[in-house]
Amino acid sequence: MAFLDHYLDEQLSHGRAYFSREEALEALGLSSAAFIAAASRLAKKHRLVSPRRGFYLILRPEDRVAGAPDPVRWIDPLMKYLGLDYRISLLRAAAFHGSSHQAAMVFQVIIPRQLRAFDIGRHRLQFIYQAPAAFAKTNLPDWLSQMKSESGFAKVAGVELTLLDCARYFHKATGINGVAQIVQDLGAKAEPRKLAKAAMAYENSAVRRLGYLLDRTGHARQAKVLEPFARKAKSMKSLDPSIKPLTESLAELYEKDAKWMLVINEPVEIDF
């Protein structure tokens, strides 16, 4: 264990608080069984934690209360280890861009592959799947920002992608009213041309949902560039498709927005 313990201190001295099993085996010349035994002992002493098999985080004393460092410090190397491109989005991205109403309790990452959510210490990581073709069209350097931490940088959705992701995956962004608040907070920061171009990779109904919320929150310039998407719509869609009326007759009572081709089946409430 002493060899591995020294290896952890050495990594930290170089500002690196993570490593892979393969890196440690090569550096230390241990057998796989010896490494696993040593890592298990150090994990019990709260010096190590593993968010994914074969990938380890080194815990500093200040990390041990939360059980793991803030994921922004290690999501980039973890994704590289898994061979996946990614972007931090939804609630954490909204907070990063200045949506003051968002106290992100979950660290949400969009990736082009199915991956289970997991808890590590007090942190919860949730992975949202975006179809590979759409992901490739949107996860472009010009549409991303960087989230800085003391250990480096992590990719985060730019304002335009954050808004589109929240409109598309609204059920993971505290629902329609939560997204409406994000749109209220961030809409003015979105560059209209960039927003319209990125929207081409999203489902038409999600783009119309965002357009409606931009209109509703007074961001006319940003809403206007999304109007062509609504004109292409062939049928009305529910603002919140998860809400089903008790009877068909009740569905007829919902307000219909002809501009955005949406059935407003959920009242939108925003703190201005």
pLDDT of residue 159: 98
Question: Which tokens sit at 44?
Answer: 């019990």
Tokens of 128: 């949202």
Q: Where in the chain is the domain with CATH 1.10.10.10?
A: 2-66
Tell me the per-residue pLDDT of 32-66, one tens digit each, with 9 for 90 and over: 999 999 999 999 999 999 999 999 999 999 898 88
pLDDT at 255 over 70: yes
pLDDT at 252 over 70: no
For residues 158 and 103, is the Cβ–Cβ distance under 8 A?
A: no
- What's the pLDDT band for 120 if we cut at 50, 70, 90? very high
DSSP letter at 156 equals E
Residue 72 has pLDDT above 70, yes or no: yes
- Work out the mean pLDDT of the chain and round it to a whole number: 92
Local structure of 86: helix, strand or coil: coil
Confidence band of 206 (pLDDT split at 50, 70, 90): very high
Residue-level pLDDT at 237: 92
Averaged pLDDT, 250-265: 84
Q: Which of 118, 100, 98, 122 is nearest to 109 (CA)?
A: 118
Give the model confidence (pLDDT) of 84-105 as tens digits: 999 999 999 999 999 976 566 7
Q: Which ranges constitute the DSSP H helices of 140-191? A: 159-168, 175-186
Q: Looking at residue 15, what is its pLDDT? A: 87
CB 173 within 8 A of CB 179: yes
Q: Which two tokens stand for residue 39?
A: 């890592």
DSSP letter for 59, please. P
Residue 129 has pLDDT above 60, yes or no: yes
Determine the 3-state secondary structure of 169 from DSSP: coil
User: 244: pLDDT confidence band, cut at 50, 70 and 90?
Assistant: confident
User: What average pLDDT does range 226-231 have in this prediction?
Assistant: 97
Q: Which fold has domain 2-66?
A: Arc Repressor Mutant, subunit A (1.10.10)
Nearest CA among 157, 167, 141 for reference residue 223: 167
Instruction: Please give the residue that has the higher pLDDT: either 246 or 271.
Output: 271
Tell me: pLDDT of 242 over 90: no
Q: Please, are residues 130 and 63 in contact by the beta-carbon 8 Å criterion?
A: no
Enter the tokens of residue 232. 């292409």
> How large is the average pLDDT for residues 148-165?
92
Percent of the chain with pLDDT strictly greater than 90:
81
Q: Of the candidates 62, 57, 84, which has an alpha carbon nearest to the alpha carbon of residue 73?
A: 57
- The model's confidence at residue 7, banded by pLDDT at 50, 70 and 90, is very high
pLDDT at residue 266 in the model: 87
